[in-house]
Amino acid sequence: MSKSLRNQVLEMTNDKVRPVIDNVYKESLRAMLFEFGNLHYIDGNSNKIKVKCIYGNPERIAGRLKADNTLILPMVTIVETQTLNDDARRRYNPVLLHEKHWDSEKRRATRVLSLSPRPLTISYEINIWCKYKADLDMLRATVFSKFNPDIQLTTEQSNLNKVFLEGESDIGSVSVQDSQDRVLQKTIRVNLETYVENPKFAITNTGEISDFNFNTTITG
């Protein structure tokens, strides 16, 4: 394929990739909430209790705790903190991928072009909120036990997602309204390595390029 064809696909990709990236953010967060929405703790009666996991900025959650003491604890919140293009996993020049898609109705193959998926690293904070240190330690240990050394995360776009531990911080405690109680908070920082699948384009034998709408998943 000529350089001019690759440049044409690159230009068309840049015009259409923003909604794809937005969807990667949405699906990645959904997968993170699902993965860490499976945490449990043991209460004083030896019952196994599932911990609620929601999206939430820690400052906003702390504000709610100060103003409203009806929030059920322990609780886990997740927030995205940073997104970076991952140059270490990126090819210097975009590679033009060639595929063939078989249309069973028209009984013919369509030639499909796309640029290689772009690597992306999304950073998250997992915040654990507890009344008791024993619960906090139990949930922290459960989160850390998930990493071996990473977590394989599957989304609609890709099953090549990996979550890595970055570090942790003891934030301290938050006072609860009209009470001497304080809520303990621990922050665990993680990085999700994922890929953005670039839009695909159909090309005819005469070299005409058009949008190609066919959903795929990036696999190993």
**213 three-class SS:** coil
Give the C-alpha separation, 118 to 194, whole Å.
Answer: 9
What is the count of structural domains for the chain?
1
Provide the domain limits for residue 52.
18-94+117-202
Is 7 within a domain? Answer: no
Q: At which residue do the structure tokens 């997740």 appear?
A: 78
Tens of pLDDT along the chain (220 residues) come to 456 877 888 888 788 788 888 999 999 999 999 999 999 999 888 999 999 999 998 888 878 777 766 778 899 999 999 988 776 666 556 677 888 887 777 777 888 888 888 888 999 999 999 989 999 999 999 999 999 999 999 888 788 899 999 999 887 777 665 555 788 999 999 999 998 888 888 887 777 787 777 655 445 5
Is 100 within a domain? Answer: no
If one counts every other C-beta atom within 10 angstroms of the C-beta of residue 75, the result is: 20
pLDDT of residue 177: 58
Domain with residue 182: its CATH number is: 3.30.2000.40
If one counts every other C-beta atom within 10 angstroms of the C-beta of residue 197, the result is: 20
Q: Give the chain's length.
A: 220
Backbone φ and ψ for 170, nearest 5 degrees, come out as: -90, 105
Give the C-alpha separation, 16 to 13, whole Å.
Answer: 5
Is 106 within a domain? Answer: no
Q: Which residues of 122-138 are buried (b: 16+ CB within 10 A; e: fewer)?
A: bebbbbbbbeeeebbeb
CA 186 centroid distance within chain: 20
Is 32 within a domain? Answer: yes
DSSP 163: E
Is 216 within a domain? Answer: no
Tell me the HSE value of 214 on the side-chain side, using a 13 A CA sphere.
Answer: 15
How many helices (H) and strands (E) are present in the chain, helices listed first? 3, 12
Give the C-alpha separation, 147 to 145, whole Å.
Answer: 5
The residue among 134, 135, 137 whose CA lies nearest residue 145 is 137
Is 176 within a domain? Answer: yes
Is 126 within a domain? Answer: yes
